[in-house]
């Protein structure tokens, strides 16, 4: 009972985080966030901090600053004032103070040479430099182009209009790159939940991992991924299983046949090679991997994966 109760609490907190992420460009209220998590506003602040290690304010501020940092690199000529106001800051001065406090450099300095996430923490001396790319480095293709990288050709890349989807998911917070046992455990839990409910039947069910944060900006211990299965509207969920909306829109869909060690190279091909010459740029929607086969059934153990990124015209 204790374990089930904690899972329910965490699932509700994840719903609150999803709500915040989807409304970062709008005024956020305690009542609205608490309602998304089905908690009373009275105790929500304390619950959120106890379960995430961040206050609600710190979480919202960090996501806004990280999203602003992405835009600084992606749009090098856009006025910083515009970026500040578009990301929920009341004034350029407020944004400047918060940005320097979080990243250790000013926004203009960050734009010229983004510091490694490993040296940007408060109180630490920082030596500017681009980190090596690690998948999915989807938010800053310019950084990838300036970084030595391995790429792998896609079998196909096309822009498609995709419908909205409902994703029943498990959330992981923390490092994930190269953690094969972690993914096996999460998928095992997910399939154990979905199998008895008759939800494991492609093509209706798609197997997806969403990456919420940029691993070159967000600290490893705060990286969030949502791993799950698309489900019909009205599917009941409970406990540690959450429900997330993937919006309809235009997505660049790149099909790859990969060995487990090739994922970073596939992301590099899409983001560092194809995207800059495509006439498209990343949109504000999600970026995710959709898994199209069981590698154990492939003669060479290959992973058939479609990487999808929400895009808009350049």
Report how far residue 5's alpha carbon sits from residue 12's, in angstroms, rounded to the nearest whole number: 11
| Range name among 48-62, 119-133, 241-255 with the lowest pLDDT average | 119-133
Residue predicted with more confidence, 144 or 69: 69
Let me know whether 161 and 114 are in one domain. no
For 152, the token pair is: 């792998």
Pair 205, 105 in one domain: no
Number of H helices, E strands in the chain: 10, 8
User: In CATH, what number is assigned to the domain containing residue 13?
Assistant: 1.10.10.60
State whether the Cα torsion 129-133-139-145 is positive or negative: positive
Please spell the DSSP secondary structure of 139-164, one letter per residue. Answer: T-HHHHHTS-------SEEEEEEE--
Give the range among 10-14, 35-39, 194-198, 282-286 with minimum mean pLDDT: 282-286
User: Do 112 and 246 belong together in one domain?
Assistant: no
Q: Is the pLDDT of residue 269 over 80?
A: yes
Indicate whether 140 belongs to any domain: no
Determine which of 59-63, 97-101, 104-108, 284-288 has the lowest per-residue pLDDT on average. Answer: 284-288
Residue 280 lies in a domain: yes
Q: Domain for residue 9, yes or no?
A: yes
What range defines the domain where residue 160 resides? 156-313
Residue 194 has pLDDT above 80, yes or no: yes
Asked whether residue 119 carries a pLDDT value surpassing 50, the answer given is no
Q: Give the end of a domain, one of 116, 132, 148.
A: 132
pLDDT, residue 161, reads 97
pLDDT at position 137 is 39
Whether 182 and 95 map to the same domain: the answer is no
pLDDT at 279: 86
Structure-model confidence comparison of residues 117 and 267, the more confident one: 267
What CATH number does the domain containing 256 carry?
A: 3.20.80.10
Count structural domains, the chain.
2
Do 167 and 280 belong to one domain? yes
Task: Identify whether residues 303 and 270 lie together within a single domain.
Answer: yes
Distance CA 90, CA 244 (A): 29
Residues 235 and 299 in one domain: yes
Decide if 147 is inside a domain.
no
Mean pLDDT of the chain: 83
306 and 204 fall within a common domain: yes
In a domain, 138, yes or no: no
What is 163-203 written as a DSSP string?
--EEEEEEEEES--TT-HHHHHHHHHHHHHHHGGGT---TT
Does the pLDDT value for residue 263 go beyond 70?
Answer: yes
The reply to whether 143 falls in a domain is no
Confidence at residue 115, expressed as pLDDT on a 0 to 100 scale: 65
Of 69, 98, 132, the position where a domain reaches its end is 132
Q: Which of 132, 147, 170 corresponds to the end of one domain?
A: 132
One domain for residues 161 and 309: yes
23 and 120 together in one domain: yes
Q: Examine the domain organization and report whether 58 and 203 are in the same domain.
A: no
């Amino acid at each position: 009972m204790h374990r089930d109760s904690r899972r329910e609490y965490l699932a509700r907190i994840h719903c609150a985080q999803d709500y915040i992420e989807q409304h970062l460009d709008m005024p956020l209220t305690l009542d609205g966030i608490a309602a998304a998590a089905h908690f009373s506003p009275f105790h929500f602040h304390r619950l959120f901090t106890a379960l995430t290690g961040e206050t609600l304010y710190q979480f919202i501020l960090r996501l806004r600053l990280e999203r602003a940092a992405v835009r600084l690199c992606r749009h090098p000529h856009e006025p910083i004032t515009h970026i500040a106001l578009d990301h929920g800051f009341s004034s350029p001065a407020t944004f400047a103070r918060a940005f320097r406090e979080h990243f250790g450099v000013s926004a203009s300095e960050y734009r010229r040479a983004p510091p490694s996430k490993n040296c940007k923490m408060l109180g630490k001396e920082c030596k500017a430099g681009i980190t090596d790319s690690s998948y999915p480095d989807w938010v800053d293709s310019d950084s990838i182009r300036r970084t030595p990288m391995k790429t792998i050709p896609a079998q196909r890349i096309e822009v498609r209009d995709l419908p909205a989807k409902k994703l029943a998911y498990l959330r992981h917070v923390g490092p994930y790159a190269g953690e094969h046992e972690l993914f096996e455990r999460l998928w095992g839990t997910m399939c154990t939940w979905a199998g008895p409910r008759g939800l494991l039947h492609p093509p209706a069910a798609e197997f997806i991992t969403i990456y919420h944060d940029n691993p070159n900006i967000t600290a490893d211990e705060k990286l969030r991924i949502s791993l799950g299965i698309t489900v019909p509207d009205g599917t009941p969920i409970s406990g540690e299983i959450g429900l997330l909306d993937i919006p309809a829109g235009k997505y660049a869909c790149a099909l790859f046949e990969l060995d487990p060690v090739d994922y970073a190279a596939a992301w590099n091909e899409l983001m560092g090679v194809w995207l800059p010459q495509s006439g498209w740029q990343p949109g504000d929607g999600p970026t995710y991997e959709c898994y199209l086969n069981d590698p154990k059934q492939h003669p060479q153990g290959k992973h058939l994966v479609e990487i999808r990124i929400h895009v808009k015209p350049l």
